[in-house]
Structure formats: structure tokens, C-alpha cells
Chains A and B, each alone.
Chain A
């Protein structure tokens, strides 16, 4: 067991096979009401288009389904169980009232094509959230249509392209700092732009002189994350904006780390032209094991004509409506109006906080990150001493001398009852440990985390192999990812049963 701390303890978890392995003919979990119209002859109606067999779809009863998924759920870690310090992912508390209000009849069952006359409630939610987000970011206009952060990035760059096109030159390149998230370059490529990397300086920030050298009339925009992926505020952000604007370029801000700024500073005030938000990070909508997200894009006035259509407008009589007549719009990026269910949750979160709550939230997020930084300084290598905002990045420099890498430390952290931090990112730090506690952690949980990280560091010194073999306390041990990729088994088949 080595140096286990007070957080984790063992409990019995159940084994559970695949649902297909429980299936047998004659079991069912469904019941339809009696048909109140005449039965139909499906063969006659559909002819050769009639489906006769549904293959290996399962046949199980309701209690088996409840147990199946409940058992599976117990194999997951979750915010509800404890701290989830994934850097740049902002794993904060997901308030339950958000779930409750998103399921209110009338909102949950609203059809996207129902007449506007009976859609005023949904439109009001879209409008109110839009207004709040515009105020929070200090921008002039917004679209809520993008379905996730990366989708927001794409939308943002399409706006950039449309803007430049309207001036006669779409330009060719997007500048991206080497510390950026992988979606940034992938998005630029998807939007049809070439990517040019921008080196960071020795403080982990955008190198302004390098930017000045690389900036020219071929550059459409710079995509910057602020605070960046080191958790460092780009102190020269205004100069960066001026450099971009002087050559006709635009400043795009990846809002992944907005949890460090809400209520304290507004991107619109420091020169950002276009940015996306992640409602599933900053605004508490649940990550749900990897989605759904929601990635609104806020812009300055100059980009407003290009926003995806439709946009919500207020009619002279005070009612709300969708406006489709937007000749300069980049078009649609998604069917309907975006992930509306996430708008409800994000707005409920803003209501629960108010201006004072949002500010306190940001302050607590920054306080927590700095508390961890202080607690682990000297135990783990801190590659950049620049002040941290909402997250802190250490490296495995000390531990890797014993052959223990960031991923191994992360796996051992699982035994201590914590979800790992983000490993091996950002790329500018070799063997990075990227830690973002968020505001949702009480002091006691942070103390336990610091204790755990210190204890692991000691284990590395005493018995590195023990750490390399972690996790020790999970249902399964480390999985063979190479085999999974070499011979992909992406579905169950009856022949490989048992």
C-alpha cells in the first residue's frame, strides 16, 4: 500500500459483462400501448425495403439494464466523488438545479420548428444568456450555435475568413503559439488556413518580438489562449493586439481558460476581436464523460455581420424572433440553434452566482491553483516561475531521473483517490503535470491532494517500480493500448464471445 493518505479506501465493486452477453430471446424492457389505428401490412407497404432482422441487438429486462449501467457507473471517477484536477478542462461542480430546469416540460420537449409565437420562452433563454455572455466577455455580439469548443474555434475562424474576404483578401495563415491546444491548429486547417507556429519566450508567454517579425499581410489571425495553457496571463496582450491590428490581422482568443477571468477582466477590453467560450468548462454544464459541450463565439462589432444564421432579434412589439436575412453570414455551422439544453444549464449557473458570485468563483479558482503551487513547489519541478492564474504546470524532471514519467505519477494518483491531472501537455513543457483544481475544491481536499502528490514523490525515491506498476487499486490494471490500436476491436461480435 505504501504511503496511502486519508482520501481513498477500498470498496467492493461488481463485475459486469457486456449487455450482449446477458441477452436471451424472450426478455424485454419495453411495452407499447395498444395500437389505436389499424394494423398495417409491412411487407405490402415497404416491399423489399422491409427489414426482417435486427441482428445482435440485445434482449434484456429492466432490472438488468438498471444494474448493468449502475455497475458500469461505479467504475468511473467523477467530480461528484472528488477533485478532478485536469488542467484546461475546468472540471467544476455541475449544479443539480441545472439538470432539473433543463428537464422542465415545455423546454425539454420544445420542437426546433414550432412557431415563434409559442417559442418565446426558448428565445428568451437564448437572448438572456447571449446578453450575459456578451457582458462577461466585453464583446459586442455572439452566436450560440457551435456545438463544442473546437466547433466554436472553427466558427470563429470562418468569421475571420469572411471578414478578410469582405476586404478583398482572405489571407493565408493563422499564427498559433507552440503552447496551444491541439484543436487550434486542427481547426485552422479545417478552415482552410495554413498554420504557422509561434515560439514562446522564456517566461512561457507569446514572444512579442517574434510575433512582430512573423506578422504580415498574409496572416489572418493569431489564436491565443489567455491565460495560456501554462496558466499564465499574457501580460503583453494589448501589445499583441496592437501588433495584429496594425497589419490588418485579427486577434482570436481561445476561451478555454476563461474561468481565470470571469468578473475580473474582459477579453473585449484587452483587444480580442473574436473568442469562443466553453459552457462545459467555465459555465458548469456537465462534461458527461466527453460531451455534449457548447461553444458560443463572441465577436466585436466588425465581425457581427458574418455571424452564423439565424440570429435572435427583438421585434418592435417586444417579442423575439429568428432573423434569417443575413446576406454576409458565413452560413450555418449546425442544424437548428445549437446545444440549447446547455444554454439552460449555463444560464441557471449564471443566475445562481450573480456578479458577486462569479467574481468570488474566479478568485477562489485562482486561490486554489496558487495554494497547490505553493504546496508542491520544491517537490516537483516548476519549469516556469511566472505567476499562475487558475492552473499550474509542473514537470516530471526530478522523478524522471528515476524513470518515472508524468503518466506514471498520474496513474499512481488514481490509487490515492484522485483523478489525474492533465499529462504531457502543454507540449512546451517536457513531461508536464498540468493541474487545475477549479473553485469547487474545499481546503481539505486540496490538502489531501498535496499530501498525495508529496507521498508519491517519496515513493518514487524509495521504490520507483511500485509507481511504474500503478494503478494498484483499480478494477483493472494498466491497459495495453498498443494492442488496441494494432488490431482494433471496435465492437462486440457473437463469435468473439466468452
Chain B
């Protein structure tokens, strides 16, 4: 307490005795740094309201439900303690490892201007731009976001964002059900397994039967099976491209099948960077994209940024917020949230979706990323991803089996090893490398296969080290087998 007194008296030049008398009224323990009121303020306010104590204001809560004890949670911490606690957690969390994981969450470089700009309080601490005159910054940014997403996906319009790629895909299916008036959906088994699970959850309660179509030797959806599975009640076909194995689908052929049957084609894109070098699925009717790759931290799975893009004729069936251009009273260009009659706050139970928030701040990260790389940079970035992946796949192929080589791929590939990839990965961990994702959990039929990913951040020496360790494993298994065979012969 004496320290506080001396600081106060030094800075304010108050007489020491006066300060001491103020401080003695305040228990230091009760100071709370986010609350801008002194005890005297609180007293004055209670007096103005005309009550004796704060408890009077809680009278509406029946006495038996008033909590008469402290919550059993950690005690108040200093800022330095909070920082230390989280730094410790970070150290327990794979800090310093290099990773070959992709599978719907990608490690790309995030230009520093992104965080410099999104941390401006006017973006960070503003609300949904319902009061347009006071939120033009957010609104214009959303309008630019919608424009760039439409450009990149080859669609006519895009919304202001959805929670993420998985819920966006589920919302796209419900949108297709509304547009077509049909009730079932067909999805590719090569769609992200967790997206399929989310869709399963939504579809069960919407009464939308789902049928799944497998993949062929090339890793692409089995077109013949698809042809047989789509029926006159199919609202949509939902595929992913590049799909979960990194394989680029033949979107035009799939679109043809969908449209022959009067169904819509929805394409989910989990790796947005692919759009820099891979032709967008222009034949699709709806694109449900996860834009995390564009400047959003991996963050252990979220928050991410889903987006829906579609044709103009479907826009009134699209869920989520939309920014539109208009003019003010003096004819000046401005932006507002528009077509709100689709939304829950107007339509209540008849809305296109119950979605309320979008991912505005994350969409802003995506927006800035797209602006930084732009027309030329996005292509060069995608090219580097393709080059690293091509090199890595070639190196792995020298020692193990690379699956699904019959179709073009982007930045992921499937490696089949003789040894269980979990065992290989635990050895890689010893070298501070996180190996590819073992696929057994999602695709038991793929046995000892793992999904590897390279981005522009994957170095050649990392690739060579990982390949070397996988090669060691293959050699060990081979020599063990030879040894066993010799034993048998003997």
C-alpha cells in the first residue's frame, strides 16, 4: 500500500495524509482494472437511483436463487500472470514443431499487415453494421470481400461469410432443398469426413436423406456410381474439390450428371489457395468455401471463415448477411446490409436459416490477405504450393506408394506405407516433425495410408528429412520380412 501512496503523491502532488485517507477506504483487493468506477461513483449512482445498496437492485431475483458465495473459479490474476499461464499452455502445444498436416486446416504465411489492421479498435470492437451511417468501414470491407470471393470462385455473388466450411456446406444443402423443392442429397465420400458428419447432424433433423458415393482408383468420385445414385428427388450433389485427398475433381462431368437430373451441384472448397492456380468450379450452382487458408491462423480449428457463393438467381434463397451498394440522400455511394427479409430477425421461424452472426473479423483477415496477394500473387503462391507438393510426392514415391496418381492434385497427397502411419508419426515427433494425417480413422479401407500436405512454408530440407524417416521405416519392414522369409526357408 505504501508504494501506491508514494506513486499517487508523487504524480499528483497531493498531501500525503489526504492520500492515505483515500486509500484506506479502498481495499486494494477489490480493485478491478476493467471497471471504470470508484466506490464514490457507485455510491452517488445508487443515491441517484434512490436505493440503499446494490442488493436492492437484485431484489427481482428470488432470494433462494441468489448466490451467496464466491464462484469456485481461479482467483483474479494480474495481466502478467495471465500471459505466463497461456505461454505455458503454448509450450505444451506443439510449439516449435514443423507439420505436414492439412486436411481442412492449412498453415500458410500470414502477412503482418493483417493483424496490424484487424486489431484497430474500430474494426475489432464494432458491432454488426446495422447502423449503416456509423459502420461504413465494415460495410465497404464486406462489399469488397464479396466481390473478391465472387471473382475467385467464378460465381456471380457471395455472402458476407458463414461460421466455417463445414456449416457452410450444410447450409448450402438446405439452400438447394429450398430452391429445388426436392428432399434428398448425394454427397461424395471424398468430402471432408467432419463436413460429412456436420451435414449428417443437420440433415437428420431437417428430414433430408443423404446418400454417399465412393471414390475410384484416381481418388475422384466414382462417376458411374454417382449416375446410379442421383434420382429425381435429389436436390443436390455435394462434392469437394480439391477433395479430401487433394485430388481435383472433374467438376464439369459431375455438373452434367447433376443438371441432367434437375439437381444442383454444390462444390465445397477447403483449400482456398488452390483457386490461384486451379480453375474454379464454374459449372457449380453453389460454392461453399472455407477461407481459412487466406490469412486466418490455424488456431486449433477456429474461428475460421465459411463463405457461400452462387448465381444471382439464387441469391434470395442464400442464408447469411449480405452487403449491398446504394446511395445516401445526397446521392453519395454507400453500403448497407440488404435482403434482410431472408433473415431470422425479420422472418423468425420462416427465415432461410437461423444464422445471425457472420465471421466479420475473420472475413476481414481473408479480405486483407486477398488484397495483399491480389491477381498475380495468388497465382504465384498457389504455384509454390504445387511445386513443393509435386517435389514431395515424387520423393515419397521413391520409397512408399503414393495413391491416387491418376488425376491432378493441388497441395495434398496420400502416401501408403507398410508400417502403420501412427507408428511412423510417433518417431517423426521425436524429430519435431508432425507427419501426415493417418486416414484409417476416417477411411478404414485405406489401411496404412496418410494424408500429407505441403505449402509454401514447407522447406525442401523438411521434406527430405520426413521422406528419409519414412524410407527408414520401409527399409526396416522390408528387412524384417526378408528375415522372416529366411527363417521360414530355413
Contacts and interface: CB of A to CB of B under 8 A. Distances in A.
Contacts of B160: 290
B153 to A, nearest CB: 10
A1 interface: no
Interface string B331-349: 0101110111101111111
Contacts of A341: 297, 299, 302-303
B445 interface: no
A202 interface: no
Interface stretch (A296-304, A393-401, A438-446): A438-446
B90 A121 contact: yes
Interface stretch (A73-81, A206-214, A455-463): A73-81
Interface string B304-316: 0000000000010
A38 interface: yes
Nearest to A161: B205
A294 B96 CA distance: 28
Contacts of A76: 122-123, 126, 129, 134-138
B73 interface: yes
Contacts of B152: 54-55, 57
A353 B300 contact: no
Contacts of B452: none
Contacts of A45: 386, 390, 408
A115 B150 contact: no
B93 A410 contact: no
B275 A30 contact: no
A244 B480 CA distance: 66
A464 interface: no
B488 interface: no
Contacts of A192: 205-207
A120 B350 contact: no
Given A75-B137, A76-B122, A335 B198 contact: yes
A103 B115 contact: yes
B113 A62 contact: yes
A201 interface: no
B127 A290 contact: yes
A379 B83 CA distance: 47
Interface in A281-331: 286-294, 308, 330-331
A289 B135 contact: yes
Interface string A18-56: 111001000011101101111110100111111100111
Interface in B453-479: 456, 459-460, 463
A403 interface: no
A323 B166 CA distance: 20
Contact of B41 (A121, A414, A442): A442
Interface stretch (B17-25, B177-185, B232-240, B319-327): B319-327
Given A69-B368, A475-B136, A354 B164 contact: no
14 contacts: A23-B375, A32-B377, A73-B120, A76-B126, A76-B134, A80-B121, A111-B107, A114-B434, A115-B425, A125-B86, A147-B303, A189-B354, A238-B62, A419-B127
Interface in A3-21: 16, 18-20
Contact of B99 (A111, A363, A414, A483): A111
A8 B312 CA distance: 42
A266 interface: yes
Contacts of B489: none
B87 to A, nearest CB: 6
A479 B277 CA distance: 39
A266 B353 CA distance: 30
Contacts of A132: 73-74
Contact of A89 (B127, B141, B375, B408): B127
Given A263-B70, A292-B357, A439-B35, 7 more contacts: A37-B390, A57-B152, A70-B117, A93-B34, A111-B105, A330-B201, A420-B134
Contacts of A480: 326-329
Contacts of A131: 73
B82 A477 contact: no
Contact of A336 (B126, B133, B301, B379): B301
B388 A360 contact: no
Interface in A107-155: 107-115, 117-122, 124-125, 131-132, 135-136, 147-151, 153-154
B134 A419 contact: yes
A364 interface: yes
Contacts of A367: 42, 45-46, 49, 54, 57
Interface stretch (B211-219, B223-231, B256-264, B359-367): B359-367
Contacts of B44: 443
B85 interface: yes
A467 interface: no
Enumerate the 10 nearest inter-chain pairs by beta-carbon distance, A residue then B residue, closest first.
A288-B361, A336-B301, A354-B76, A106-B95, A80-B121, A106-B90, A121-B93, A112-B301, A121-B89, A292-B303
Residue among A16, A352, A471 with the most chain B CB within 10 A? Answer: A352
Contacts of B89: 106-107, 121-122, 124-125
B302 A358 contact: no
Contacts of A49: 248, 278-279, 408
Contact of A491 (B140, B158, B321): B158
A163 interface: no
A269 interface: yes
B276 interface: yes
Contacts of A229: none
Interface stretch (B3-11, B189-197, B396-404, B412-420): B189-197
B165 A335 contact: yes
Contact of B163 (A121, A151, A441): A151
Interface in B94-112: 94-97, 99, 101, 103-105, 107, 111
A129 B341 CA distance: 37
Contacts of A246: none
B288 to A, nearest CB: 12
B332 to A, nearest CB: 5
B162 to A, nearest CB: 9
A356 B119 CA distance: 29
Interface string A331-353: 11111111111101000101111
Contacts of B423: none
A94 B71 contact: no
B447 interface: no
A78 B126 contact: yes
B67 A290 contact: no
Contacts of A370: 49, 51, 57
Given A62-B372, A110-B94, A474-B134, A20 B99 contact: no
